[in-house]
C-alpha cells in the first residue's frame, strides 16, 4: 500500500456479487422495475446506457465484468482488495441471499461481516432474521425501501422490528432513487417520515440510511433531529447530488450532517460492489479529505471511519 491515511477504516457498506444477485433482481421484478426483457432493452437503447457509461468515464471506472463463476474466487479477490487498500473490516450488506452472504463471511471472518437481506413482509421475516443472526452470524439487516410492498410503519412489521431490536442488530434502509441510471426514481414507501415513526416506537433499534438519504436528504435530516437512533451512511459516488434542483455537493452533505446530527451518527461506507473496479478507494479518500479539510478532531474522524460502525455492529 502506497497511501498512508493515518486512520483505521471499517467500511459499513459493500455488495457481494451484485451483478449476479437474484434476490435483488426478484425484488426489482416485484415492483415492476423490469417490465420485460424487451422493454429493458428498449430503455437501454433509448439512452439510459450512455448515462451509466458517462458516469464511469467521469470517474475513470472500467466497464463491469461478470461475476466469477466461483463465489470463493470473488470472496478471495475482495479479501485481497481490502488488505491492499488498508481496510480493516468490511460489511457486505447483500450478496445473493442470507446463506450466501454468511458463507462468504465465513471464508474471511477476520475481514468480512455480513447483513441479512429479505422481504420484511414475508410471513417468516422475523424468524429468518433471527436465524440469519443467531445461526449464521450475520450482524445486521439490509432493506431497500423503494422495493417494498408496503410502508415501513405498517404494524404488520412490528414483530420483525422487535426481533431486530432484541438481537441488537442495525437495520440499513435505502431511501430514494434506486439503481442509478435507468433506476426507480421513487416509491410511496421510501419516506424517512415512515422510518421516523418506526424509529420512535423502537428507540433501541439503530437505523442507518445510506447515501445521505438521496433526494430525501431534507426529510432525513429532520428524521435524525427527531430520532437519535437514525444514522446516515456516506456510501457511494453520491452522484445523485447532480440531479438535485439546487447546487449540492458532497462537501455540503458532510458539513450539514456534521453540524446537525453530529459525528456519532455518520457512518463511512464505500458501496464497493463489482470488478474490475474493486475497492473504490477514491470515495474513501475524497470523503476523508473533506472531513480533514473541515478540521474535524481526530476523535470524530475515528468515529465516522470506524468507531460508529463498530458500535453498531457490536464489535
As given in the structure block, the three cell numbers for residue 74 are: 470473488
Count of residues touching Zn ion (by CB under 5 A): 1
CA distance 208 to 313: 12
Encoded one letter per residue, x for contact with Zn ion by CB under 5 A and - for no contact, window 224-263 reads: ----------------------------------------
| 176 touches 214 (CB < 8 A) | yes
| 172 touches 208 (CB < 8 A) | yes
As given in the structure block, the three cell numbers for residue 20 are: 449476479
Q: Which residue has the cell 474535524?
A: 296
Query: Which CB atom, from 273 or from 308, has the smaller least distance to Zn ion?
Result: 273
CA distance 67 to 69: 6
Q: Which of 264, 246, 274 shows the shortest CA–CA distance to 302?
A: 264
CA distance 277 to 42: 27
Residue 176 Cβ, how far from Zn ion at the closest point, in Å? 12
Told to check if 28 binds Zn ion by CB under 5 A, we report no
Residue 24 Cβ, how far from Zn ion at the closest point, in Å? 10
Q: Which residue has the cell 468507531?
A: 307
Told to check if 21 binds Zn ion by CB under 5 A, we report no
Residue 142 Cβ, how far from Zn ion at the closest point, in Å? 8
Part in contact with Zn ion (CB under 5 A); list of ranges 25-33, 77-85, 189-197, 268-276: 268-276
Contacts of 122 (CB under 8 A, 6+ apart): 128
Part in contact with Zn ion (CB under 5 A); list of ranges 189-197, 244-252, 255-263, 266-274: 266-274
Residue 227 Cβ, how far from Zn ion at the closest point, in Å? 22
Part in contact with Zn ion (CB under 5 A); list of ranges 79-87, 190-198, 270-278, 291-299: 270-278
Told to check if 11 binds Zn ion by CB under 5 A, we report no
Residue 239 Cβ, how far from Zn ion at the closest point, in Å? 13
Out of 143, 271, 308, 312, which residue is the one contacting Zn ion (CB under 5 A)?
271
Query: Which segments within 30-184 are labelled E, that is strand?
Result: 89-94, 112-114, 141-144, 171-174
Residue 308 Cβ, how far from Zn ion at the closest point, in Å? 17
Q: Which residue has the cell 446530527?
A: 261
What residue ranges bind Zn ion (CB under 5 A)?
271
Amino acid at each position: 500500500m502506497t497511501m498512508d491515511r493515518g486512520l483505521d477504516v471499517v467500511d459499513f457498506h459493500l455488495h457481494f456479487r451484485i451483478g449476479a444477485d437474484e434476490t435483488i433482481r426478484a425484488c426489482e421484478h416485484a415492483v415492476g422495475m423490469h417490465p420485460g426483457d424487451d422493454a429493458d432493452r428498449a430503455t437501454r437503447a433509448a439512452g439510459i446506457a450512455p448515462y451509466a457509461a458517462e458516469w464511469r468515464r467521469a470517474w475513470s471506472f472500467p466497464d463491469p465484468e461478470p461475476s466469477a463463476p466461483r463465489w470463493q474466487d470473488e470472496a478471495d479477490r475482495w479479501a485481497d482488495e481490502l488488505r491492499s487498500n488498508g481496510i480493516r473490516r468490511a460489511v457486505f450488506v447483500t450478496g445473493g441471499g442470507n446463506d450466501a452472504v454468511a458463507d462468504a463471511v465465513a471464508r474471511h471472518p477476520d475481514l468480512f461481516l455480513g447483513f441479512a437481506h429479505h422481504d420484511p413482509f414475508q410471513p417468516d421475516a422475523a424468524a429468518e432474521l433471527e436465524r440469519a443472526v443467531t445461526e449464521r452470524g450475520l450482524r445486521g439487516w439490509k432493506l431497500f425501501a423503494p422495493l417494498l410492498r408496503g410502508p415501513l410503519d405498517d404494524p404488520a412489521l412490528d414483530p420483525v422490528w422487535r426481533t431486530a431490536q432484541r438481537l441488537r442488530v442495525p437495520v440499513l434502509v435505502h431511501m430514494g432513487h434506486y439503481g442509478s441510471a435507468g433506476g426507480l426514481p421513487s416509491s410511496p414507501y421510501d419516506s424517512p417520515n415512515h422510518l421516523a415513526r418506526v424509529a420512535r416506537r423502537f428507540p433501541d433499534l439503530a437505523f442507518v440510511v445510506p447515501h445521505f438519504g438521496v433526494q430525501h436528504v431534507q426529510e432525513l435530516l429532520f428524521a435524525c433531529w427527531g430520532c437519535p437512533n437514525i444514522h446516515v451512511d456516506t456510501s457511494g459516488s453520491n452522484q445523485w447530488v447532480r440531479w438535485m434542483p439546487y447546487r449540492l455537493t458532497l462537501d455540503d452533505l458532510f458539513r450539514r450532517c456534521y453540524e446537525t446530527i453530529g459525528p456519532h451518527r455518520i457512518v463511512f461506507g464505500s458501496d464497493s460492489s463489482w470488478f474490475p473496479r474493486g475497492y473504490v478507494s477514491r470515495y474513501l479518500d475524497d470523503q476523508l479529505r473533506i472531513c480533514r479539510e473541515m478540521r474535524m478532531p481526530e476523535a470524530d474522524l475515528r468515529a465516522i471511519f470506524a468507531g460508529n460502525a463498530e458500535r453498531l455492529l457490536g464489535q
